[in-house]
Structure formats: C-alpha cells, structure tokens
Structure 1
Amino acid sequence: MGLIEEIVAMRGGSGHSGRLLGEFRRTALLVPLSEGEGSGLMSGWQGGVRWIYAFTDEAALARFAQQRGAAHREWEYLAILGARLVDEVIPTIDGPTGVAVDVADEDGSMLFPPVVGIVPDAVAVDTGDAA
C-alpha cells in the first residue's frame, strides 16, 4: 500500500501506525514554498505547533490552492522524502513542528506531530527535552 491507502486505513480504524509511518518516510512529498521575503516551506500554526504543509501529489496540492482561493497562481514546491523532512528539516526549525499531509482532503488528511518516533527525539515535544 502507498501513503494514501495507509492514511485511509488508519482513518478507517484498520490501519497500523508502523506501516503508516514507514510509508510516510518513503514517500516523496510536495511541500509548497511560501511567497515573499523570507520565504521557506509553507506552514500554518495550530495548537502551538507549526505544521508544514505536504501533499502526496499535484492534485492534492491543487485542491489546497483552490481551497485557499489561490488556484490562479503558480505554486512552487519542493519534492522531498518524508524521512528527510522530519529527520533533517524539522530539527532546523525553531519550536515544535510537525507535518500536515493533504490538509485540503477532509477524509484523506493526516497529521504527523512532533513526537518521539516521528521526529528526532531532540525536537520531540513529549521528551521534556524539546528545543
């Protein structure tokens, strides 16, 4: 199964967290870039956590753009493996940071929070050692 199928299985109650995380880590995700000065990876804040927006394919990114009323513009994005995103990028960001996958898809989205087992322990919020 691919990441989308693992998300569906998890949301449906028949998934396995280890398989889901494995697929997330192996999947090339599309991460839109912010516009303007100081641009970087597009993210939002919820519950004291920065969530990097990531998408499983261009169609999912297009639905996100449509939902934001910005489908008319060209969206630049970075293609990056989920493993590299959580292991190498997230540790360089100040504060708790997780990944929100396919956030425009009500029944197909999934959050990968900044906790042990998903992000490196040094930046996980559930160790007491988070930066």
Structure 2
Amino acid sequence: MRVDKYLWCVRYYKTRNMVTEACKKNHVTVNGQVAKPAKEVFPGDVVTFRKDQITYTLTVLDIPENRVGAKLVDIYRKDQTPESAFEHLELLKISKMHYRKTGDGRPTKKDRRDLYDFTEEIDFEDL
C-alpha cells in the first residue's frame, strides 16, 4: 500500500492530499529514507513523520483494506512516539495561553511595554 494511503487509512491525516503535501515537504520517512507519496509500505516498516510539532514514529503491523474506524487503528499500527513529545506540545499550548487568551487580537502598547520591562529585569548573560 502507498504511504500516503496508509497514513490516511490509519487516521493520522484527514485527507490524502494533506499526506501528499507532507511527503513533498520531506516530513515523511519510511525506514529512515525520505518517502514520496507513492512509496510502498509493508508490515514491519517504520514510518516517521512530523505533524503539529510532534515527530510520530509508528511500526506497520498490517495493511488495511480501506480507511478504518478509530477503534480499529491499533490493529494496523504500533505507535512508538515518546510521551515526552506530547508533553512538550502541552507545554507549548500552556505557554501560549498564559500571556494572552485566544482571540484577544494584537498586543497593545501597554502589553509590549510590560514585556519589555520584564525582559529588562532578567540579566540573560548570567543564565
């Protein structure tokens, strides 16, 4: 099965076109080699791809006939992505929410001045 169809079938991407774009940007590798969308995958292959600032690593266990339901995905792949990658993503989300709420728009002049004052208090050369 083609790598673009496989990643679409096991529900990592919403459309095959999204997988194709990821392959063209060299975000998908099969067994350590950069993969084009038409690269064939077989059981036992290791597929690594980058999506949403996380590098996923999965082992192909079996080839599905069609796109499978979310509950059946584990039959066809073994996810070997380290938990630290997901923790890092959560940390990024929390750090973004800390300063401004979503939808507040651009920072005001007061926000910019507060940030400048805060960074002036920290002496980065001592770190």
What band does the TM-score fall into relative to the shorter chain? Answer: under 0.3
TM (norm. structure 1) is 0.24
TM (norm. structure 2) is 0.25
Structure richer in helix, relative to its length: 2
Larger of the two Rg values belongs to structure: 2
